[in-house]
Amino acid sequence: MEYFVMKYDDRVLSPIKIDLSTIDIDAKEASVAYAMFHENTTFVDYFYIKKLFKYNFCVSDELKELLDIYADEMTAIPLFITDKKQENQKVYWKIDIEVQDCLEMKPHMKYDDLTIIQDKMKNKKDENKKDENKNKYIFKVLFEKQEYLIVSLHLAENILRKNLCGMQFIPVKLK
């Protein structure tokens, strides 16, 4: 199976700009964040919020519906991004995906140079299966102070078919 890092696409013109000081990144229930909406604001379907070394991956309703189908263990907490001036609101979901300890550790690793060791991937649903990663469509990997979402080729293709915006897919090496 082929895998990709799902990365925020920084080529998006006029993305939504969230006031990070208004977010409780550790909230375990629905929360509100404030932003300025403009006529040309692009509401992306994927972005992440980073405070210190804690990442919160945020997805739109449409992307969350798709991830609900493919993720083994995912929790989602609503994040209401609100523009006070226009009295408008957009719902996103802070998602938490299970972590896999399957990265080959190398010095100076970046998102475009990740290698996954397939034998280290575990499927909690059925650990006795020989092909443990057969149903792994999305998971999270940790490296030092960074977190990455990894998606399978199958899931990446389905995301692209839905014409969602705000993400890039960078190939991951397999070992």
pTM here?
0.86
How big is the CA angle at 156 (ends 12 and 149), to the nearest 5 degrees?
75
pLDDT > 70 fraction of the chain, expressed in percent and rounded: 93
**What is the pLDDT, as a whole number, of residue 134?**
54
Reply yes or no on whether the pLDDT at 93 is more than 60: yes
Task: Please give the residue that has the higher pLDDT: either 85 or 133.
Answer: 85
Task: Say yes or no to pLDDT of 130 above 60.
Answer: no
- Residue 129 is predicted with a pLDDT of 47
d(CA 167, CA 164): 8
| 133 — pLDDT class (breaks 50, 70, 90) | very low
Residue 51's pLDDT is: 79
* Residue 142 to residues 50, 129, 147, Cα–Cα distance (Å): 14, 24, 5
